[in-house]
Amino acid sequence: MAAGTNEAVARIDRDELIELTLDICNIDSQGPTEAPVADRVATWLETEGFGVRRIGLLADRYNVLGKLAGSGGGYSLIFNSHMDTAVRERDVWTHRDPGNPEYHSAWIDDDELVGEGVVNDKGPMAAFLIAAKAVKAAGVPLKGDLLVSAVVGETSHEPSDGPPGEIVESQDLGARFLVTHGGIADYALIAEGTGFSIVSVEAGLAWFKITWLSDAPAFYTPYLPDRTSLSESPNMIVRAAAAIEALERWAAEYQAKYSYQSACGPFVPKAQIGAIRSGHSTSLNLTPQVCSLYLGAFTPPGHDPLALRDEIARALAEAGLPASEIDLYLFRRGYEARGADRLIEAVTDAHRTQFGAEPPPPNPATNSMWRDINIFNEVGIPAITYGPRSERHSFRRSLKIESLHQAACVYARTICDICMQEKPRGLE
């Protein structure tokens, strides 16, 4: 096995890795516009001799699944990354510079590859595609199937207030659709940025719409009563502003209350207000009688979102700012991987061989967010996340070329390890 593995690693071409990364990262795939990247990835896989399926609910947003069939009797492994990038040019109320080229293209800068797509998440995708090609070219006698997948919608928006069909977006179109339509294996490795740490737990998501409704008239501004307090204001924007302080206190208490030590490191769930809706900027002469805050919370595995809703309601009531309505409009459960020991051991061994050291402990943030690892763990496929990530990610979207090359080498070693292992009879 060692000879075949070393041959595969030796066939990983750094220049080809750079070329493929820049190729797919210079196809702008700000969600929901992944189709051109999906077509490029599918074409690349077909050219390299992999079996290819295009799996999707929508013609312009589909997932790509490549397959290198094993001889039979071994463990199968699926790699997964997402094609969509998070920053859209129209996100003018979220980002100061949503049109910045760093969000929509990629380039070489000295020893780095720069671009949002490089780090999240097409760089790691290119690494496992090149690793898969190297394993195939080396003729490694895999027993189990190797699958490689590129999915849509990991950073997708979700429907909130509009009628059905107003926003045809959801994470359900991506990894979840792939998995329920054949994208399964014995193990899953989600190639995303972890700083080469092995992450086996991810948070769930709970999104709430918190609404205040006024019984007072929609006062024309000259008839406004004299000011009293924020919490007594007939203007629901002002009432909600007072509630923000209470929700911020609650978020700090929530984080402290539900943090715990997971199998792979500290889990620290956080929450914040992400949006507010009320009034009309084109008509400022009436008191808004309705205001909604939108609060998103990352939740521990197994956490009850209805109990979380009740916690939020109590916090607001205790602050004298009870909401008229608190609606849960999105929930996705978080998971800790079960039965992933074989995969964790394989990645650990591959990392040791490549780096001459143990994988570093994860940054708590990488254990405490939502990623597609949850989709696989939800359906019983043991899944972990592992990939390169720059320590400067928060202010520069870039990866060292060497780190991407090292990732490809670790991925190739992991493929050979898992897919060359005999699967005991009775587990097929």
Q: Which residues are catalytic, by number?
A: 84, 154
With 0-12 CB in 10 A as exposed, 13-18 as middle and 19+ as buried, what is 274? exposed
Q: How far apart are CA 200 and CA 203, in angstroms?
A: 11
For residue 114, give both structure tokens: 């720069």
Q: Report phi then psi at 94, rounded to 5.
A: -115, -40
Strand order from edge to edge, sheet including 107-109: 107-109, 112-114, 398-400
Contact 104, 33 (CB under 8 A): no
Map residue 146 onto helix, strand or coil: strand
3-class SS of residue 61: strand
The 3-class secondary structure across 296-350, one letter per residue, is EEEECCCCCHHHHHHHHHHHHHHCCCCCCEEEEEEEECCEECCCCHHHHHHHHHH
CA angle 20, 178, 398 (to 5 degrees): 35
Among candidates 224, 141, 183, which has minimal Cα distance to 53?
183
Element (H, E) at 62: strand 61-68
